[in-house]
Each structure stands twice: as C-alpha cells, then as structure tokens.
A and B are shown apart, each in its own frame.
Chain A
C-alpha cells in the first residue's frame, strides 16, 4: 500500500499487490530440516531483554515523522475480531473500518490519500462475510485456523479447516503449531506438521503462530521459529492473543533475529507478526523501530510485517488527530470498527 497525494482511482489493485507477500517476494519454499542448525541456536534472555528495553529509549519519532509512521502502522494492522459473539453485522462493521480506518478530514489535513489496514483477521465462519464485505477494497482476509487457539483438534480436521477457509476466500491462514512438539524438542514433528499446513494452504500464505507465551524459553522461541521457516512458513507470528503472555519485545527480538539469519542463509524474506497486547500508538512505533533497526526498512511494509491488533487503531487515530489539531483527542470522535 502506498499513500499518494492524489486520490487514487485504482486503490484496490495496488493494495492487493502490496499486501500479499507472494506477490512481492519469491515465496519461501522451505528447506530440509537442519537439526544441527536448530540445536545450535542460542538466545540469552537477559541480554535480549536489555536490548529490547532500550529500543524505545534509543529511538524516537516526532511531529510529522511520527504522523507518517503512525499512518504506516495502520497499513500494517491485521484488524482482528476473534470473539465468540462475532456476528455477520459485527464483522461487516469491522471490514468497513478496515477500508476507511482514518477520518477523511484528518487524512486531508495531512495531505495523504486513502489507505487501508493490512488485512482483516477472523475465525473461519466469518471468512465469507468478510470476503464479501471487503470485495473491491483489495484488503485480504486472514483466517485463524487449525484448531485455533490451542491447536489440539484432530490433525486431519486441522488440515481440512485450512482447506475450508481457503475455499471460502481467505488469502492468509494463521495456523497454530503444536506447542508440545517444541516443549519436548520434537523438531521433526513440528517440521512435518508445519509442512503439512503449508501444503494445505496452497496459494494462500501461511502465518505460523508459535504461541510464544507457552513455549517456556526464548531459546525455544528461536528454535521453533527456525523450524517453521525451514518448513515453509511465510510469516512467523507470536501469539493467538489467548495465551497468558502475548507479543513482547524480547520475544519479537528473538523471532526477528531468526528471520534475519534465515534470510542470510537462504535469501528468503519471512514476515513477522506480533499479536496480542499491542494497543498503544507508542508501542507500535517501538515495534517499528525494532524492525527497522534489526531487519531493515524492507520489513516495514505490510507484505512482511503485520500487527495483530484490535484496539491499536483507535489509539493511533487519536494521536493523528492530536498531530493535526495540536489538541488531545477523544475516542468517540473516531468511528468504531
């Protein structure tokens, strides 16, 4: 997604080409499971925490830079609803917000054209509704899948679930891995599972949710990241949002360093999606600085970086209004999603 000063007549086509990784980048074909590599991976927790703690103090974006960064953040959001009480009406409203995330007067004041969120993320049952609601916007629909969030339903059903969501029009599938494979060091099983999920996705691109809050150690997070990338994940993602601990900066640092090493070794760029707990504009800026400094600007685009978030957008809108007016904003001044 690009923002132009001219109103675009062809947003949908350009948006579609920008958000889907398979269009921008050669898709990660995976590689043979390299257990030597996996087992040699180290992650020193206190050092990682120290680095993570200084990202926000070493980097700061102000004024028009901050506004531009926040606009970019919007294009990175997988606007998400994963609630038991989701209905067709609720999902349609969310999709409408995804297509028009910021008030038009604010965009005009900043001199930017229309923009959208990166995707909309729903459960399988809401895929068709979302696909229909987003028709013509170019915004892809992501479906959480494979027995989300615990991933403990029968394996054939998990595979079948992917197939159903793809058939329903989901362009992105957020699968959950079997945590027990990580916790028992059964990397082969994790690799095989991930490969099967990837195959079931076909052309839809696959995000591997590691559920990092349940993996026990950062070393496990790093090793699981490598195994999933080796098995062909297009994205690695922290959390379902349902674990006790979701996306954190230390976990993110661990995962994106794995992405960097995988890219150095294979030449393939894997995307990253922190999910759960990122609700403030300031947090989003810190994550973006982390991506920029550790991976580079290429990973600040929606085909390689997404926020899994539901309330982040609201805070960003308020900050943008503050930028435009110089006065602090209120939530009710912005349309709900």
Chain B
C-alpha cells in the first residue's frame, strides 16, 4: 500500500523487530549446542531441532544429554558446591550482580532469541520476561549479600536439580538459578526441550560474569534427561515447574530419597468480576490474564466468574475487545498474541475446544495462514461440571460462568483441585479484601492480574504444588537449618512380660475424634506394658475408618482457621495451665511408659508446658509482610494455615513430642489428626482430657493411637488432608511422600533422622513455616 492508501485505511502495517543479532549469535555456535558442564560446553553429539513455532524453521540443533552428561554435570556441581558456599555472601552477590547487569546489557538479544524460540510476542519478552529476569538476579544478589546476617541459622542444601518449562524459558531459569546460587547451592538445570536457546545464551553469559566452573550446569534434552536428574542419587533438591501430572511423577520418584522438593504446577485460576467493578478495566485485565503468552501461563486467569447481573454486558465488551487483538508474527512490535509453542500444543488446545459445550466465540481477527497460531477464544454458558471448567487448557481459551453472591463466587472459585492464583475485580475495598483471604490460591491479585516481582512470593496450594519462589519465603526452598542429622533408632513397644503386674482398676483409653472419645472401629486394642513389667493400660488400634472419621471431624472444624491469633493464644495458655495442674500425673505416666526417672519425666512435662507457652506466644506474632514491589500498591504476604495436618508424633518423647508438633499446628490455625507415639501412646490419650477442659473446639485436635506403618499410607493418601508430618521412629518417609502425590499434599518427614525435642531444634520457626502457607495478595491502589 502506498501512503495515500494507508492514509485512508489507517492500518497498522508491519513493524518487525530485526532478528539478525540473535541469528548471528546462533551462528557463532554453528547452530549446534552441547551441554554446559563444569564451565564449558561439551561438543554437540546427538540431539534434536529447535524450531521457531511461528515459521516452523529450524533455529539450531540442541543436544540430548546422556546419562554420562548428567553424571558429569552433577559431579561438577558437587565439586564446586563446598567452595561456592564457603565464599562470603558478598562474593556471591558480586557474581549475581554481574549476571543482572549482563542480562540488562544484552536484553534485546535475549528478548529476540526468546521470541524466536518460544513464539511469544516481542513486546512481552522485551517488556516483561527479560526485565523480570534482571530484577530477579538483582534481588537475589541482595539476598546473597544479606545471607550471613539475616539467615545465619540456615545453610545451602547442596546440589539442586532444576527442571523448567517452555512458557517462560529464561524467566523460569532466573527464578530457579538466582535464589539457589545466592544461597550457596550449585545447580544442574534442564530447560524445556522446545525452548533451550536462551538458557544456552545465559550459559555464554555465565562465563563473562565470573560464575565459577561447576556452579551453574545446563543440560538439555527431553523428559528422559529430566528423569535422570530427578532420580540422580547425588542431588539434594529438585525444583520443578511444569504440569501437575509430571509433578506427581516427580513426587513419587523422589519419595523417601531425602531430596527436598518444590513443585510449581498447573492451575485453573479464577478471575472474579463483581458488579461494582470498573468493567472496562476488568475486560482489559483479561487480555493480560488469558491472552498473555497465548494463555500458556500456569497462573493464567482462565476461569472467568462474573456476577450474573452484568454478565451479558461484560461478555459483549469482552468480545469487542477480543476483536481488537492483533495476532501474528511474534517478532512484530505491533502484535498482542503470538504463536503457540509447538504443533503438539496447538493440537491439544484444538482438541480440547472442539466439541466443547457452551457458546464458543473466537476473535474475528486476521490469522496467519501458516505457523502455530490459535485464535483468542471465549467459551461462555459453561457449568462448573463441564470438563473445560475443570481442566487446564494452557492456551488462549477463556471459559466463563456466572455467580450470584460473594459467597457463591468463593465457592465456585475454590471448586477446583488447583490453587495457584486468583483475580478479584471490585471497587469495594471491603468486598475485595474480604474475598482475597477466602480464595484457595497462593497468589491473589486485586483489580489487576499477572503481576510478578522477585520480592513477592509465587507458588500454589493444593495440586498447584508447594514451595514459594521469590521473597524471603522463596529462600526456604534453597536452604536448610544448620546442623548434622543423627539417625533415629526405631523404638519398639515394650513386650509383654511373663509375669506382669496389673493396676487395681482398669482404665480405658479411647480415640479422641471431634472432641469426643470414640471406640476404635475395628474393636482391637493393644496392651501397653511398662519396662518394669507393669501394665500401663490398653491403647486402641485405629484403622482407616477411624482415620476417615478423624479427618472428617477436622475438616468440620474449619472455623478454627478463622479465629484470631489472640483467641488461639488464650486456648494454648489454658492447655498449659491445665497440664500444669496435672503435672505429677503426667510425669508418673511418662515414667511408667518409658522407664524414665521421675526427674526426667517431670522435666518432659515442664518442657511441654514451656512449649505450649512458646506457641501461645507465637499464635499472634507470626506476622506476614508488606513487600516492596515496584508499583504503587502493596503485595501482602500473609500466613495462612495449611488446613488439616496429619501427624505421626515422635515415639521418643510421648508428651513433649505430641505437644511440640500439635501446638505450632493449631497455633497457626490448622486442625490436626495426630497419631500418638506408637510405643508409648497413653500420654497422648491422657492429654485429650486436658484438651477437653481447655476450651479447644471439637475437631481441632484429634488423637489416634495405633500402628504407624499401617496408618501412614492411609493418612498420606487421604485426599482431604492438606499436609502430613512424620517424626515417627518407624521410617514412614517413603510411604508418606509417595502417597502424598495423590493430592500433592505438603509433607514434612524425618527420613529416619532424630530431633532433640527438648532442645532448640524441637521448636521455633521451622514448625511455624511448615504450619503455614504464604499467600501473596497484590493490592495496587490510587484514585
């Protein structure tokens, strides 16, 4: 078209970003890449084509790492780790700072390469991905600098295996590598098969930034390489971002291995629009929610919930907005929606939408004739029971339904197995701030969507995974408390003596479920003998049905999570008071069960009272934070209870072990199903009488007695339990972690290591951290 014609049509025309520099960089590597191991690239041996999804053209050949390569990468990381961690925080900060600076200096090269490889619009890689990458390295340079002063009691985990997805290739690399190396870990990172190129460019940069050899290793390839990392015996931690399905496999594969694990998985995040919202802004927000990165975003606002009275008007405006989206060449600076990452993904999206019920609307816009493109799509009139309302599509497809009241909005929003993010639009601050805490999500955006920052934790609840990335909370995933672990010897119940002594009057210990004593469903009990041959009593043998009942009771006590910290503190103090009143009786019980001296037994009771005071103190003091994110507004990091925690109590300290684990859990608002010390269960059954007299609402603490090994898979496999902890001397770790994969519940297990319950490691922040989730609520403001 010539100028006079354009003057009439007022079309945008092409505005291509030049790919020359990025292609020239590929040429410097002869378009063939090996693995970055121990600071240098191996020769490209065998591999696969990396293609530009917008054109289908091959960009380069990327290597398929062999088991030998992975071994070599892990060995290099292992070799480098001690000296890297031994460097001063300042030394490590300098390296991270150099990486941040170099990324900024090469920002356009990274952006263009990312767009070529992934298909996302250049606007996004240029204005969102790459600046966030640099920000993440800056932020964690600061964390390295502050580590010695602020995190003195924690240390690096060791070698981290990191597996990242293709939707934000370099950004996910930054989220994984920056906190890991800042804390003194070394890494073996595998980028996604479709999108390895920016990781390889980053590898080039590492050499310029003075990253010591072996601190960062990058191996490329398909899922088989990921599996080698996951199962590698010399890796201490696995961090994975990707699908819930693969996350579950990783959970099972690492069960019992002692590897720490964080998973950032899928989502079907609700996008709630109340009738008092700024509707145009809420419509525009959806462009950032579901048409950002072609909807290939784990936290995409993909499930629209709009208040019924404004639904039709909202949909009309949304359809009009969709028709203004520009889709096409991702390198064009005037494009909103680029290419889907791969033909395989395009087929998945196409198949999911084909034959969908409801009213399917696709944007009436120009589509390129070739390449992996899918039109922005809105499907309305769906019911919650429709498959598309439940399943992640991972494409530019928005599904919608309506709600009537705020309560119903919350119910619909939470009616999902996922819990990654949520968006709330309302001009009413009372409503918005009331809804945010009720949503099952790790991140909530109020009147905005898809805001990210290194200072604000990101991560999910439920089957969206566990662990946080970003902020102080993100460092928990890359550090552990200092100290060397000692192994824990199994403690067997005292066997029945030949000639036992029986008490004068029989006493019955039952199970404690929903605030009531309950006989075991199976009708079996076990005689508990003391070491001196005295019968201490009988303990019920709980079975799976008792466990089911206990979980139901705990779930019914939901109100506990909404009580104030002050109220929970009062109740914990009251428990301590009532325990104190029966100090002698409990000391005698402990002595009788374990054979401990009277003085030692009294010390355990005193320590238990002290511990109750500790968590009464914490109940209203484990504060959240207001994060310094770069926008006018705040990101609130609030601690929320995990929910229902299943708990295998320590065997070795029958009372203190119970108190040390139950108290932090309930102090933070959780409900617990505690399985008492297996050899010495009767201190716990005595304790329910203390609970009964201390105003603890029924169902908040449920106490079972029985066989740990038998109950562990049942409790860990229960889909309505949110976390399981085990400090049992029976090694339940593998069974619990494997079964926990079912609903990806959080686990905290001892891997057969002991813990000194009377000492510092028996209390404190590690317990509070395990008892809470950090929810980040973004509240931009301004009038």
Contacts and interface: CB of A to CB of B under 8 A. Distances in A.
Interface of A: 2-5, 42-51, 54, 57-65, 67-69, 71-72, 110-113, 217-219, 257, 288-289, 292-294, 297, 300
Interface stretch (B12-20, B568-576, B701-709): B12-20
Contacts of A58: 123, 334, 336
Given A58-B123, A58-B336, A69 B10 contact: yes
A11 B123 CA distance: 41
B284 A47 contact: yes
Interface string B259-296: 00000000000000000111111101100100000000
A62 B15 contact: yes
Nearest to A49: B782
B436 to A, nearest CB: 16
Contact of A4 (B4, B278, B279, B448): B4
A68 B6 contact: yes
A42 B427 contact: yes
Nearest to B121: A58
Contacts of B123: 54, 57-58
By CB atoms of chain B within 10 A, which of A44, A50, A297 has the most?
Answer: A44
16 contacts: A43-B281, A44-B277, A45-B783, A46-B633, A47-B278, A47-B281, A47-B282, A47-B780, A54-B123, A59-B334, A62-B13, A62-B15, A68-B3, A68-B4, A68-B5, A219-B783
The 6 nearest A-B residue pairs measured at CB: A65-B13, A68-B6, A47-B281, A44-B278, A46-B780, A60-B15
A319 to B, nearest CB: 13
B780 A292 contact: no
Interface in B291-342: 324, 333-334, 336
A46 B4 contact: no
Nearest to A217: B783
Given A2-B8, A3-B7, A72-B7, A46 B782 contact: yes
B782 A64 contact: no
B127 interface: yes
B344 interface: no
A294 to B, nearest CB: 8
The secondary-structure label for the interface of chain A is helix
A42 B278 contact: yes
Nearest to B779: A46
A57 B4 contact: no
A257 B278 CA distance: 11
A64 B13 contact: yes
A61 B13 CA distance: 7
Interface in B631-664: 631-633
B402 interface: no
Contacts of B782: 45-46, 49
B632 A46 contact: yes
Contact of A61 (B1, B15, B285): B15
Contacts of A110: 3
Contact of A62 (B2, B4, B14, B276): B14
Given A44-B427, A54-B123, A61-B334, 17 more contacts: A3-B8, A46-B448, A46-B781, A46-B782, A47-B278, A49-B782, A59-B12, A60-B333, A64-B3, A65-B6, A65-B11, A68-B6, A68-B7, A71-B3, A111-B2, A112-B7, A293-B324
Nearest to B280: A257
A59 to B, nearest CB: 5
A63 B632 contact: no
Contacts of B288: 50
Contacts of A289: 12
Contacts of B278: 42-44, 47-48
A54 B5 CA distance: 28
Contacts of A44: 277-278, 281, 427, 447
Contact of B276 (A42, A60, A112): A42
B108 to A, nearest CB: 14
A44 to B, nearest CB: 4
Contacts of B336: 58
Contacts of A217: 783
A218 B278 CA distance: 11
A288 B333 CA distance: 16
A238 B665 CA distance: 57
A51 B4 contact: no
Contacts of B285: 47
Nearest to A291: B10
Nearest to B336: A58
B706 to A, nearest CB: 55
A294 B633 CA distance: 26
Contact of A48 (B13, B281, B631): B281
Contacts of B277: 42, 44
